[in-house]
Amino acid sequence: MNVAFIGLGNMGSAIARNLIGAGHALTVYNRTRSRAEALESLGAKVAATPAEAAANAEALFTMLADDRAVEAVMFAPGNAIQGLRAGAIHVSMSTISVALSGRLAEAHREREQHYVAATVFGRPDAAAAAKLFVVVAGPPEQIQFCQPLFDAVGQRTFVVAEDAPAANVIKLAGNFLISATIEGLAEAIALVRKHGIDQNAFLDFLKGSFFSAPVYRNYLSMLAADKFEPAGFKLPLGFKDNRLLLSAAEAVAVPMPLASLVHDRFVAAMAQGLSESDWAAIGRITYRDAGLKRDT
């Protein structure tokens, strides 16, 4: 399949490599051109602009940091939506606002193009191993057409709705649950440590009983070591997702007090210089509130 891929950060690069490995012909674009050129040796063609990348694509993937980056790629003069031919599909993997997802669906509809939201769960190592969970919403025929692409990058695809923004709601809700899990684990570890209990015994219990899923094991290890660098998912990106969640909740009058608490953890962490750390570093704020030092 002829595929265009825009956005080659840690996640995007790994996903693009897996699409190439599955035999698809990729044209790639990235604002920092060197990231795109790194894929040339694998057979990717490097485009000079988003419109050039999209021009011959049957499916255009975007994996960008936030709403502003997606808007710049898709809506600025001469960008991807103008290059994409009628009948082609835009597959948005970016974690963006529900409102922007709806705007994209309408814009593509007006140009007789198709739009599918395909949000993903998993860190860069999971992306590299093609073990992502892909949450997809959009027209059934277009999802079916793209299924081989999803199979190339993920271990399972969940089709949730025909209305594309539904996948974005689920992505925000899922990331909220992860951030709330990080907060809960950090509070529990702080309690155990302040009572003088060996935290490793507590961790062995958690990992060997009810909290053995990968999401618990990964973050328990980070929180126990109080080590959040290098970041797999930088803290400001987690903060962005939290703000999008609260906006989506406000739009439908859903109180989310725990999300508001996590919001303040993100703000405190950034205020204390942790913007280059993994988003799990909100746990360090919990430890500091409990009077625990890093060398405890």
Q: Given pLDDT bands bounded at 50, 70 and 90, which one contains residue 295?
A: low
3-state secondary structure of 63: coil
Q: Catalytic: 194?
A: no
Q: What is the dihedral of CA 178, 180, 183, 185, to 10 degrees?
A: -70
Closest CA to 51 of 67, 68, 69, 75: 75
| Percentage, residues of the chain above pLDDT 90 | 97
Element holding 2 (H helix, E strand): strand 2-6
233, 279 Cβ separation under 8 angstroms: yes
Kindly list the distances between the CA atom of residue 135 and the CA atoms of 119, 196, 203, 289, in Å, as whole numbers in the listed order. 5, 42, 31, 36
Higher pLDDT, 77 or 183: 183
What mean pLDDT is predicted for residues 248-268? 98
Q: pTM of this prediction?
A: 0.95
**Chain segment 83-130, per-residue pLDDT in tens:** 999 999 999 999 999 999 999 999 999 999 999 999 999 999 999 999
pLDDT tens for each residue of 150-204: 999 999 999 999 999 999 999 999 999 999 999 999 999 999 999 999 999 999 9
Domain annotation for the chain: domains and CATH numbers: 2-163 (3.40.50.720), 169-289 (1.10.1040.10)
User: Among the options 45, 131, 171, 227, which is catalytic?
Assistant: 171
Is the pLDDT reported for residue 296 higher than 50?
A: no
Mean pLDDT of the chain: 96
Taking the C-alpha atoms of residue 72 and residue 29, their distance in angstroms, rounded to an integer, is 13
